[in-house]
Amino acid sequence: MVAGLDLGHDPAEDSISLFKKKEDNYGSVKIEKKPRNDSALDFSRFGQWWKKLSDTFGLRYLSFLFATQHVGMGLVRTLIHQVQKLAFVQFHVPAPHMQIFLGLVMLPWAIKPVFAILSESKPLFGYSKLPYLGIGAIGTAIALAILGSFRTELSLYSLATMFFLCNAGLCMLDLMAETSYSMQIRDHPTSAPDLMAYIFGGTHIAQICGLMFGGYVIAASSHWAVLGLLAIPMGLVLLPIAKNYMGEVPLNTEERTAAQARLWEHGEVCGVGLTVSALALGLVGFAMHSSPTTMLMVSAAVMVIACVVFGIFLHPMVAKLNCFLMLERSMMINVSGAIFYFAIDNDEQFPTGPHFSKMFATSVLP
């Protein structure tokens, strides 16, 4: 005993005895556990979720989103990206040049503001979205049919043009669908999480299915067969567009004038979008006919011009974020073309390589 403290006493004994007393006191209380049926619980919740979603937005509109987002952006876009490198490989494009061609065919996603301004400023037949959706779907289906039919009979630049048209059509589909469901979210804010789960959950599932399907078709036939078959689902995308399942109402003359006035009220933002799109077009076009050193200098100049435009015309917070993202992306070294060649080269081309099959390289490695 030191200063009234019993050093031989273990405090843990008091905790154990207290726990036993509580256990004895509550031992008479019986807790009834109900059996849990996970499968029934999940299916019932899914049914409730789907009923709420369909009651709020309607089956017609959900069918429109299924066509444009799940089929278009999920299945078709994934399969196009899956096989386009194989197409360039068959044309014996060197790995550094493949990066340039991939940048060219992906250019529509960089000039997305141009499509937005065009659709808002130039409605067709009173519709600002529906005709552009149709143009995007038809253009993509035709380009895929040409790729699947003519194959190696195309020139290299014709091949790149067809892939460019595919991405332009898908970009237009995505943009118009985004505009549509953003308005739905504004009108039904409490159902926004359900709608976003339906859109992005279905898109991811379609992407997984695309990776699995594409690999088997490549193994059984060729990557050209994948591109030809994709024209069929793109043709089906036209059905909900032609029937206006999106529910767009045509604008009268006064409404079109008011919409254009609202657009040009934000002229500085439109100017920034058009400037960045023009810089992207010039950069890719210049890359086709210049040396790597010259291309590096031109890219640095384009980045500086874009940052200056952001700083002049945009809010400082938005400008700083865009400049940071541009600087971050410029520090990323993209060697996907070289890695793809490394993965699929045969024994003669690269004896010590992994020699993956095309199915594995396109379905598993992505």
**By the 8 A CB rule, do 289 and 327 touch?**
no
Classify residue 40: in a domain, yes or no: no
304 is a domain residue: yes
Tokens 């006493």: give the residue.
9
The 10 Å Cβ neighbour count of residue 134 is 19
Q: Give domain status of residue 355, yes or no.
A: no
Residues of the chain with pLDDT under 50: 1-8, 12, 15-16, 18-19, 21-23, 25-31, 39-41
CATH number of the domain where residue 139 is located: 1.20.1250.20
CB 105 within 8 A of CB 84: yes
Last residue of a domain, one of 215, 250, 285: 250
Q: Are residues 236 and 110 in the same domain?
A: yes
Are 93 and 207 in a shared domain? yes
Specify the 3-state DSSP secondary structure of 63. helix
Report residue 361 as tokens. 């390289």
60/70 Cα distance (integer angstroms): 15
* Three-state SS at 231: helix
- In this structure, the answer to whether residues 238 and 262 fall within a common structural domain is no
The pLDDT of residue 366: 65
User: Model confidence over 112-158: pLDDT tens digits?
Assistant: 888 988 898 888 888 999 999 999 999 999 999 999 999 999 999 99
For residue 124, what are the β-bridge partners?
Answer: 127
> Other C-beta atoms within 10 Å of 283: how many?
18
Please check whether residues 276 and 156 belong to one and the same domain.
Answer: no
Place of tokens 């595919």: 166
Q: Based on the fold, state whether residues 313 and 173 are members of the same structural domain.
A: no
Tally: H helices and E strands in the chain: 17, 0
* Domain ranges, residue 285: 252-335
Determine, yes or no, domain membership for 68. Answer: yes
Q: Tell me whether residue 241 is in a domain.
A: yes
Q: What pLDDT is attached to residue 165?
A: 94
Closest CA to 136 of 74, 183, 230, 68: 68
d(CA 347, CA 355): 7
Does residue 346 belong to any structural domain of this protein?
no
Write the CA distances from 19 to 31, 140, 361, integer angstroms.
18, 70, 60
Please, which residues have CB within 8 angstroms of residue 114's CB and are 6 or more apart in sequence?
A: 273, 274, 277
Residue 342 placed within a domain: no
Q: For residue 352, give the 3-state DSSP assignment.
A: coil
What HEC string does 286-325 produce? HHCCCCHHHHHHHHHHHHHHHHHHHHHHCCHHHHHHHHHH
Chain segment 42-101, per-residue pLDDT in tens? 678 888 999 999 999 999 999 999 999 999 999 999 999 989 999 999 999 988 888 888
pLDDT at site 161: 92
End of a domain among 250, 271, 305? 250
The full DSSP string for 206-265 is HHHHHHHHHHHHHHHS-HHHHHHHHHHHHHHHHHHHHTTTT-PPPP-HHHHHHHHHHHHH
**Is 276 a domain residue?**
yes
- For 258, other C-beta atoms within 10 Å of its C-beta total 12
Q: Are residues 176 and 72 in the same domain?
A: yes
Three-point CA angle 218, 157, 274, nearest 5°: 105
Q: How many C-alpha atoms does 267 have within 13 Å on its Cβ side?
A: 3
| Same domain, residue pair 165 and 84 | yes
Last residue of a domain, one of 216, 250, 284: 250
Q: Do 257 and 318 fall within a single domain?
A: yes
What residue type is 142 in one-letter code? I
Domain count, the chain: 2
114 and 217 together in one domain:
yes
My answer on whether 127 and 217 are in the same domain is yes
Residues 269 and 244 in one domain: no
Residue 287 shares a structural domain with residue 203: no
> What's phi and psi for 244, nearest 5 deg?
55, 50
Q: Are 208 and 51 in contact (CB under 8 A)?
A: no
What are the residues whose beta carbons fall under 8 Å from the beta carbon of 156, sequence distance 6 or more? 91, 93, 101
Q: Which residues of 224-241 are buried (b: 16+ CB within 10 A; e: fewer)?
A: bbbbbbbbebbbebeebb
